[in-house]
Structure 1
Amino acid sequence: MKNKLFLTAIIAIFMLLATACGNGGESAPKTSSKEASTQAKEESPKKEETRTITYLGKEYTIPMEVKNIVITGAMEAMEDSVLLDVKPVGAMTIGGKFPEVFSSIVENAEPIGEKSQPDFETILKLKPDVILASTKFPDEVIQKLEKIGTTIRYSHIATDWEENVKFLGELTGKQEDATAEIEKYSSDLQSAKEKLKETVEGKKVLAVRIRGGNLFIYPETVFVNPLLYSDLGLSGVQEVQAAKAQEQISVEKLAEINPDYLFIQFENNENAQAPNALKDLQQNPILNKTNAFKDDHVFVNVIDPLSEGGPALSRINFLKEAVSALTK
């Protein structure tokens, strides 16, 4: 009897040990399928949320919050960034430095190459969410940028200025600011047209650039011309209407046009080989016989000489200065 009881006790002890070993020394808590699913989601890497943005008829997939923007080649994007206070992590230089006109947005930006020569290695290191590149860039440059990150061609066409501002506003969450700037320009434009209704009627107004020491005019849809001839509705100049692109003209041709008001844009870096070109033009005896020079209606750099003319910032600033000049 004692032997039988002893054997039974030994078997019970072995069963308890087996059970303990099977549970790792403690009972395993039960996990519901819902808890298991939640745990799996938490442990799996989170997929970055994206959104789709449409610009000039093309769709782009971008992060929900765009933080790192690089601007290369697109002066229009730089001007719009100043207008909306968008600070890129990387921006192009001109003559090896950031122009003063962009100082408010490039304080912490990395130089990423010259206007027409992007530094791809530096751009790659900045890990951009979006690269804003000029529509003037050749396809091979765009293709290299696209290998780095989402690259969007920012229009250099002056008539796209509203689309540009709206797009940058949507890209950076500043839609309200963009809308406010467009509406303010529209309001200021109506006031300007009223002021100029009689003062410049029938007058020739011309805007030119001096580049490389030479004089250039532009088509009606380029430079500040859309503001002068479309927005303000001033009388067109035949030579401007006939121009297909940037077109060089001689001093004699400018005298033949004989503008009543003349706006001149002169930037030092663009005239490094001809630093006295503006002075020579102002002292030219042929031009001094034209209406604009005789009436003291010649205006130099009323906006920053690096301004493109077509973007919103250029328009806003030029409108204000043009009204002041054209009412003298």
Structure 2
Amino acid sequence: MKKFWKVGFTAALALFLAACGEDEATSGKSKQVEAEPKEHTVTYMDKEYKVPAEPTIVAASLESMEDLALLGVKPAGALAVGDELPSYLAEDLEGAELIGDKRQPNYEAILGLNPDIILGTSKFQEDVKTQLEKIAPMMPISHVSTDWEANLTAVAELTGKEDEAKKILEDYKADAAKVKDAVSESMKDKEVVVIRLRAGNLMIYGTDLYLNPVLYTDLGFAVPDEVAAAKAQEAISLEKLAEMNPDYIFLQFEESENADKPEALDELQKNAIWNGLDAVKTDQVFVNSVEPLAQGGTAWSKTKFLEAVQQNLSK
């Protein structure tokens, strides 16, 4: 009888201790879960976006892909160029699922990734914007270059990379100041312009667009009248460019943007008017000094273009 009592008591005690252990473990887990924020709010362009602490992100714009790559973040999905990740971002974004072309995201592919937030672009047409917002909140990353700090900061807050973003911004501004000091004297009376060959046409941009803020805001170069007058991306004739006759030209040519006129660059370089430009005659035309698909108004683009300007204009 005593033996039975001892066995029973021992078993009961073991069960009691096990139950206490489970309660403590459960309690610990509860406390741990409660300590972790379930979601946080990111404010971008006066709009609030609520996301989990570690959101599933789909990058449906090259602008956001550049910022994510610079911050060292791999999204669940990203856009393709020619059925694959853009070569200049492929290594940084390796493993991201392809979710369509930059002009037309694949809604089914995006839906299949069950994103918490979609990083789009302010260039989206209204119908694309509407369809994406049916899937998840869509943050339209601005294509206006002067919004680059707000863009990077918002993406950093979404991904917990605030410290990295702060350093990127500080480093860029410090580097820009050094380059400005290095070239200010030699570039005092010089005219510099960025031109993009698209669909066989020469395109220039307004002061606040594409790569231009690096030249005219950060480095303080004189703004050509034609650039000052441009409200957006605008075509400029070769004859008008000849009248402008800049001292330095950064010429961007991407094959995928000239699919119908693949020989546009070769034809331009053989043109007599082009060859009469001062920049051409003095060998001051820099073709694709930065990745031609670079969006311009991102920290990635600005950092790379600043390096190109330093390399080519401080000789």
Cross-structure match for 2:59: 71
C-alpha distance after superposition, 1:189-220 (max 9, x if no partner): 11001101111111110110001111111101
Counterpart-to-counterpart distance in 2, 1:153 and 1:204: 34
Candidates 181, 184, 189, aligned match of 1:194:
181
Asked if the contact 2:73/2:93 (under 8 Å) is kept, the reply is: no
Cross-structure match for 1:310: 297
Farther off after superposition, 99-108 or 312-321 = 99-108
Higher helix share: 2
RMSD: 2.0
Cross-structure match for 1:25: none
Candidates 131, 134, 145, aligned match of 2:121:
134
Counterpart-to-counterpart distance in 1, 2:283 and 2:216: 22
Asked if the contact 1:51/1:63 (under 8 Å) is kept, the reply is: yes
TM superposition score normalised by structure 2: 0.87
Structure showing greater radius of gyration is 1
SS at the partner of 1:255? Answer: helix
Letter in 2 for 1:324: Q
Q: How many percent identity over aligned positions?
A: 46
**TM superposition shift of 1:61:** 1.0
TM superposition score normalised by structure 1: 0.83
Alignment length (residue pairs): 287
C-alpha distance after superposition, 1:39-79 (max 9, x if no partner): 9xx8xxx9x9222111121111111222x21011x211111
Asked if the contact 1:52/1:60 (under 8 Å) is kept, the reply is: yes
Candidates 115, 135, 139, aligned match of 1:152:
139
**TM superposition shift of 1:160:** 0.5
Q: Answer yes or no: is 1:283 the counterpart of 2:258.
A: no
Asked if the contact 1:88/1:105 (under 8 Å) is kept, the reply is: no
C-alpha distance after superposition, 1:244-283 (max 9, x if no partner): 1111111111111101001100001111121111112122
Asked if the contact 2:197/2:253 (under 8 Å) is kept, the reply is: yes
Cross-structure match for 1:80: 67
Candidates 100, 108, 125, aligned match of 2:95:
108
Letter in 1 for 2:45: L
Aligned pairs for 1:1-328 (under 5 A) are 49-66=38-55, 68-72=56-60, 74-328=61-315
Counterpart-to-counterpart distance in 2, 1:237 and 1:208: 13
Counterpart-to-counterpart distance in 2, 1:139 and 1:248: 25
**TM superposition shift of 1:291:** 1.2
Counterpart-to-counterpart distance in 2, 1:252 and 1:184: 40
Counterpart-to-counterpart distance in 1, 2:97 and 2:54: 21
SS at the partner of 1:286? Answer: helix
SS at the partner of 1:147? Answer: helix
Letter in 1 for 2:58: V
Asked if the contact 1:265/1:305 (under 8 Å) is kept, the reply is: yes
Counterpart-to-counterpart distance in 2, 1:186 and 1:87: 26
**TM superposition shift of 1:117:** 1.0
Counterpart-to-counterpart distance in 1, 2:220 and 2:233: 21
Counterpart-to-counterpart distance in 2, 1:138 and 1:273: 23
SS at the partner of 1:162? Answer: helix
Unaligned stretches of 5+ in structure 2? 1-15, 17-22
Counterpart-to-counterpart distance in 1, 2:59 and 2:314: 38
